[in-house]
Chains A and B, each alone.
Chain A
Amino acid sequence: MSDAPGTSSQQKHWLVRPENIRKLWILFIVVLAGVALLDFVIHPHAEFGIDGTPFFYSWYGFATCVGMVMFAKLLGIFLKRADTYYDD
């Protein structure tokens, strides 16, 4: 079902070449900046005060996600077991 991977004769897929990954990162950061700066063009109507401040959705999305990853990591210390844990 699977061919031998990564043989040198095979040209790597364009998406996994390092120079393209760099370009994708640059593109991603440009898009992020663009979307964040849209706050100055489109004014959201604040429902609860803080959600009307500039860049609220940008930092809130980023911060809460980092928070959730950290919390999961912390919980993982206590909850993670080898995946053969329940095997007899």
Chain B
Amino acid sequence: MTIEALHPGLVLIVGAFLLPFVRGAWRMTLVLVLPLAALGLVWQLPDGVLISGTFLGLAVEPLEVDALSRLFATIFAIMAFAGALFAMRQSRVLELVAAYVYAGAAIGVSFAGDLITVFVFWEIMALGSTLVIWSADSENAWKASFRYLMIHLLGGVILMAGIAAHVAAGGGTDFAAMRPESLGTWLILIGFLVNAAAPPLSAWLPDAYPEASPGGTVFLSAFTTKAAVYVLIRGFPGAEILVFVGLYMIFYGIIYALLENDMRRILAYSIVNQVGFMVTGVGIGTEMALNGSAAHAFTHIIYKALLLMSAGSVLYMTGKRKCSDLGGLFQSMPLTTVCGIIGALAISSFPLTSGFVSKSMISQAAVDESLAVVWFLLAAASAGVFLHAGIKFPWFVFFQKDSGLRPKDPPWNMRLAMILFAFLCIALGVFPGPLYAILPHPVDYVPYTAPHVVNMLQLLLFAGLAFFVCLPMMRRTLTISLDFDWFYRQFFKVSAEEFSYRGAQAYWRLWGRLEVRVQRFIAGIYRHHGPQGVLARTWQTGSTALWMALLLGAYLLLYYV
């Protein structure tokens, strides 16, 4: 094992376990210093393999640095900092420890130079995120966390099988660009896609994330899906199937978010939608598209966290999460409203917000590759994002009707975290230069051209008109929408109940038949050997001697024959 540098992910993971041992102001300081230390470390690391060794005879490189891994590690560290700032005074220490282990593992994935290391950190992420959901400490969260964990362990098993098949086929452990052509690479791709919330297993995300605590959901929104985007960019750039997977995710997210009533589930569906844009970009696979996906992951983490912080603030102050119970909160929560709107504008990629400078690179890549259908679908989806998240979320939570609720803005640390991320959403939108400078490939793209700005405004404002025109069709109802999780929450449950009922019936019928046979057998023996049986009778001496003589005679005869 050669170690040339400290691993930033491990700093966060090991540091997390110190949190329970310090109290008060010291704990708050440690909470804020750890991710900053990790961030500082990320930017101290030179390019190349910095930790390498062998594990079970396989070459491993737990710390390999390049521009792409540095970009993702940077945003994961920033996210850990802002998430902790938001949650540090309201969340239990268990939640903070779990969140930092989770964030550290995400950084670990982004620096993994080999597939074994990817897998190890992949599983640590699954455990950390499950613990974050547990920390909400409710019956629903407990049940949701188990469904979540099962899906992720399944994904982990598929990934491990894929890595084993890949290594056995002579592919080696090195984590480099692959093509989905062999069993091993297909399984690896599927394992990655499970964490990206790709179909058919998308439902784990809107099922589990909204059950976490207000701060927990903010952490959850950032790491799992975006680490999956990272490994797809690294492992499967240009895999054509990802274009279709991504487009499906985009429209799945929009349609389900339109049907949803729970504000945090709306935002959860919109994570699937946004990850769909990134996955589509990976599928297109040009330098422009990969830059777009990476940049979009970076900006998305910030504005999605901001949106969930504002939803979390509403939940924390009111205890309510359904749109049908909320409305009119802008009057008493001005800061939360403004920050929520900034996040909503950024996710809709309004000009001067961060989403505008990142998402348009993916559309541009579709133009460059002359993918007309993809481009038209992406344009429709951009309008759809404004519809389902950009207006729907702020409208139903902060405006709509007057719910009569007059909660105040949340405590100072939650406000500070929102201000920080709202600032970043605007700053990255106005000055995209620093973000473009750290993208994996050189950027040859100018987002702010007059036609692009005007066209985007037309698309979005008329989408807004469509929202208000269709408003009567979108009256909130106390409903959920069936999804793939119906299979494992209802279908398999009901079929298992039916199976066990019928199975029990068949068992008792068979058992009854067996009993009858055994009794008949015993009765048969009793008839022959019992006190009245033919074999139990006493014989007279004469007849016995006769039978003996006959037997001996037969023996003598057989002997000579």
Interface positions of A (Cβ within 8 A of B): 1-6, 13, 15-16, 28, 31-32, 35-36, 38-39, 42-45, 47-48, 51, 55, 57-62, 64-66, 68-73, 75-76, 78-83, 85-86
Contacts and interface: CB of A to CB of B under 8 A. Distances in A.
B271 interface: no
A32 B462 contact: yes
14 contacts: A2-B405, A15-B330, A15-B399, A31-B461, A32-B465, A55-B458, A58-B459, A65-B467, A68-B251, A69-B474, A80-B479, A81-B479, A86-B489, A86-B490
A85 B489 CA distance: 10
A52 to B, nearest CB: 10
Interface string B435-466: 00000000000000011001111111111111
Contacts of A78: 482
B480 to A, nearest CB: 5
Given A35-B458, A64-B383, A82 B478 contact: yes
B383 A60 contact: yes
B383 A58 contact: no
Contacts of A13: 331
A70 B459 CA distance: 18
Nearest to B481: A79
Interface residues of B, number: 60
B473 interface: yes
Nearest to B408: A1
A39 B297 CA distance: 32
Given A5-B402, A44-B451, A83-B261, A35 B478 contact: no
Contacts, number: 152
A45 B367 CA distance: 12
User: Interface residues of B: mostly helix, strand, loop or mixed?
Assistant: helix
Q: Which 4 A-B pairs have the closest CB atoms?
A: A5-B404, A65-B466, A57-B458, A64-B380
Contact of A42 (B254, B255, B375, B451): B451
A79 B479 CA distance: 10
A68 B254 contact: yes
A60 B481 CA distance: 28
A2 B407 contact: yes
B462 A59 contact: yes
B406 interface: yes
A77 to B, nearest CB: 10
Interface of B: 251, 254-255, 258-259, 261-262, 317-318, 322, 328, 330-331, 367, 372, 375-376, 379-380, 383-384, 386-387, 399, 402-408, 450-451, 454-467, 469-470, 473-474, 477-483, 489-490
A4 B406 CA distance: 9
Given A61-B383, A68-B387, A86-B490, A1 B317 contact: yes
Contacts of A66: 466, 469-470
A69 B467 CA distance: 8
Nearest to A78: B482
Chain A binding site: helix, strand, loop or mixed by DSSP? helix
B384 to A, nearest CB: 5
A66 B254 CA distance: 12
A88 to B, nearest CB: 10
Given A5-B404, A42-B450, A44-B451, A69 B465 contact: no
B496 to A, nearest CB: 14
Contact of B463 (A2, A55, A65): A65
Nearest to A5: B404
A69 B462 contact: no
B454 A35 contact: yes
B279 to A, nearest CB: 20
Contact of B465 (A5, A44, A62): A62
B202 to A, nearest CB: 14
A70 B473 CA distance: 8
> Which of A32, A38, A64, A80 has most B Cβ within 10 Å?
A64
Contact of A76 (B259, B372, B458, B462): B259
B448 to A, nearest CB: 13
Contacts of A81: 479-482
Contacts of B466: 61-62, 65-66, 69
Contacts of B461: 31-32, 35, 61
